[in-house]
Amino acid sequence: MSSGQGRVDVEIESKRADEPTQGKVHPNTCPGCGSHYRDEELVKSLRVCPQCGHHFPVRARERIAQLADPGSFIEEDADLRSADPLGFFDVRPYTERLAEAEVATGLGDAIVCGAATIEDEECRLAVMDFAFMGGSMGSVVGEKFARACESAVAASTPLVSVSASGGARMQEGILALMQLPKTVCAIEELHEAGGALLSVLTHPTTGGVLASYASLGDVVLAEPGALMSFAGPRVVAQTTREKLPDDFGLAESNFRFGHLDAIVTRPELRPTLARLLRLFGKP
């Protein structure tokens, strides 16, 4: 009797143990090695798994805290908000999704921009937040990025961009697509004024953001394991019925094919950017 009951318990336990890995994994559980961390442990390790080196996603404000000298960041254009130019409604209205994202993230849209110093080197920062509607680029992201370029020109500092995006924001239709040429034109103006763009691609940087400003850095860096593909792996697999290589679209593959200057681990990112800022700085 007791042994039979024991077997049943084991079965139930194993079922319960399997479920989380198939469905929702706790955000603080490492998908690489299964280690679990308290949030403050992850903050301290820059959200890099101390066991296996997996890079967890980083929200925009935390990223700024990781990169900028303490207290140096001064946010710009925080007041900009998305409008609903199309009156877009899928299963829910766009305005409702926006309001929900703002409450959930505490951000006005999917990018945070401003002035900062990194190891005392002045720069402008444009940091995306994937938690705000998948880091999608609509009119506000495009406008804030363009203003960050102009602000960098006005202050004669380089612009450091950290991207994390699923692509253009469908709910803004063709205007979302127009943010590609808009940010590209802003970079052209920046470059003509002698400014520099350092672009850091983090997981994931796909679609319209990869096909515009993220790819146009004077120097392009990526974090280890970051997906950076124009079309996502699922779309590619469905359209082409090709078997995807294991490292499809990842930073490592992109580095091998010559699309990146370097893959930089998160603890190395701040000193690397500081080095580059010094190299691009006026003597």
Partner 1 sequence: MRLRERLSKLGGMKLLRGAKLSGELGRLQDQLDRLRSEPSAEDIWQSVELARHQDRPYTLDYVERILDDFFELHGDRGRADDLALVTGLGRLAGRTVVLIGHQKGRDLKERTKRNFGMAYPEGYRKAMRAMALADRHGFPVVTLVDTPGAYPGVAAEQHGQGGAIARSQAAMARLSVPTIACIIGEGGSGGAVAVAVADRVLMQEHAIYSVISPEGCAAILWRDAAEARKAAAAFKPDAAHCLELGVIDAIVAEPEGGAHTDPDAAAKLLEHGILGALEEVESLDPGERRRQRRAKYRVMGILTSA
Interface contacts to partner 1, rule CB under 8 A: 79-83, 85-86, 88-91, 108, 138-140, 142-143, 146, 168-182, 184-189, 206-208, 210-216, 228-231, 235-236, 239-240, 242, 244-245, 248-249, 253-254, 257-259
- Give the shortest CB-179-to-partner 1 separation in angstroms: 6
- Give the shortest CB-178-to-partner 1 separation in angstroms: 4
Give the nearer residue to partner 1 in terms of CB position, either 65 or 211. 211
Alpha-carbon span 53 to 150, nearest angstrom: 36
For strands 74-76 and 111-118, give the pairing.
antiparallel
Alpha-carbon span 120 to 214, nearest angstrom: 24
- Give the shortest CB-254-to-partner 1 separation in angstroms: 8
Give the nearer residue to partner 1 in terms of CB position, either 39 or 189. 189
- Give the shortest CB-172-to-partner 1 separation in angstroms: 8
Please report the DSSP string for 103-166 in residue order: HHHS-SSSEEEEEEEETTEEEEEEEE-TTTGGG-B-HHHHHHHHHHHHHHHHHT--EEEEEEE-
CA nearest neighbour of 53 among 33, 37, 72, 69: 33
**Residue 82 is encoded by which pair of tokens?**
């998305």
Give the nearer residue to partner 1 in terms of CB position, either 30 or 197. 197
Give the nearer residue to partner 1 in terms of CB position, either 15 or 234. 234
